[in-house]
Amino acid sequence: MTSKELQKYFKEHLVPAKLYKIGGHHKNRICLDKTENGWSVFFQDKKDRIGVTSFVDEASACNFMKNELRKLMEQLYGITWVPAR
């Protein structure tokens, strides 16, 4: 999965854009960003990046972010989708 495919997936599954940022960072959102050595997923809290998880490839980072948003959607709204196997 690419970041473009992930963006489309979130739109199709009605994930509010206020929960995430793909490509860069935005406060109070789960973010996916390209780094010098690959990709990272983290929560941006004002100036701090919390729980930074690094990945060598885009697909792994996208799948991790998708799973994190799935859990967040379940906690906040009581709705989810079936995780990929």
Q: What is the pTM of this model?
A: 0.90
CA dihedral of 20, 23, 25, 30, whole degrees rounded to 10:
30
Q: Please tell me the predicted confidence (pLDDT) of residue 80.
A: 78
Query: Which domain does 41 fall in, by range?
Result: 3-77
Mean pLDDT over 32-57 rounds to 95
DSSP classification of residue 62: H
Q: Is position 84 within any domain?
A: no
Residues facing 44 on adjacent strands: 29, 49
**How much of the chain, in percent, has pLDDT values that exceed 70?**
96
**Is residue 61 over pLDDT 80?**
yes
Angle at 50 between CA 48 and CA 14, to 5 degrees: 105
Count of domains for the chain: 1
Q: Is position 83 within any domain?
A: no
Q: Please tell me the predicted confidence (pLDDT) of residue 57.
A: 96
17-42: pLDDT as tens digits: 999 999 989 999 999 999 999 999 99
Q: Is position 11 within any domain?
A: yes
Q: Please tell me the predicted confidence (pLDDT) of residue 49.
A: 94
Q: Is position 85 within any domain?
A: no
